[in-house]
Amino acid sequence: MHRFDLNDIAPTPWKNGGGTTREIACWPPGAGMGDFGWRVSVATVAQAGPFSAFPGVDRQIMWLSGGGLQLRSADGAIDQLLQAPWRPFAFAGETALDCTLAGGVSQDFNLMLRRGAWRGDLEVVHQRVQPGSSPAGLCMVLAGTWRQGGAALRPGQGVWWSKATAAQPLAPEPAAQGAGAPPALAWIALHPEN
């Protein structure tokens, strides 16, 4: 069980200068962009431009903050506005997509799975979960305070794992009245295909 805090992960600038990525977890460790099995990251998109192509990879993206993102494919099959918080959108990594900003700089959460090697879904949950209950996975706090044993996790913090393991559950603290958004957690349970 690996704990992380987005604030402690250095952003990597994109080659085209249009944004940065904070890689939370990549499997197997040390894998490059062409041979990872699964990868989870948070990206900051600062300017319009094409999305990088990832042939053979299934992608799921979820808008987190900022003005929003408009994704369009050249053939018109995809025309998706990502502006509602915490609504995952899935697409094939080889699809050529152009991204424009629907406002200012935006931040998004990304799950990438090597097709035929791993399967799983990016979900947003509001109730207690059991990290380690799947062969691999990750969860990150989106809103509220969540507790795992004596540890408190706040937005941008979470845990990931690479094998099923007995771990303490992660549960939301009741939100104080008028405290804003109810507790929310990005939850990913991953399973090998073979």
Q: Give pLDDT tens digits for 134-187.
A: 999 999 999 999 999 889 999 999 999 999 999 999 999 986 666 677 899 999
Range(s) of the domain holding residue 131: 118-192
> Looking at the structure, do residues 40 and 28 belong to the same domain, yes or no?
yes
Average pLDDT, the chain: 93
Task: CATH number of the domain at 142, please.
Answer: 2.60.120
Do 93 and 140 reside in the same domain of the chain? Answer: no
CA distance 10 to 23: 8
Task: Output the 3-class SS for 13-70.
Answer: ECCCCCEEEEEEEEECCCCCCCCCCEEEEEEEECCCEECCCCCCEEEEEEEEEECCEE
Domain match, 28 and 91 both: yes
Tell me what pLDDT residue 52 has: 85
pLDDT value at residue 15: 78
pLDDT, average across residues 101-115 = 95
pTM for this structure? 0.94
Check the CA dihedral 57-63-67-72 and report its sign: positive
Are 124 and 142 a contacting pair, CB within 8 Å?
A: yes
Say if residues 111 and 60 touch (Cβ distance below 8 Å). Answer: yes
Tens digit of each residue's pLDDT (9 = 90 or more) over 68-106: 999 999 888 999 999 998 999 999 999 989 999 998 899
Distance in angstroms (rounded) separating the CA atoms of residues 189 and 187: 7
Residues 103 and 127 in one domain: no
* Res. 66: pLDDT tops 70: yes
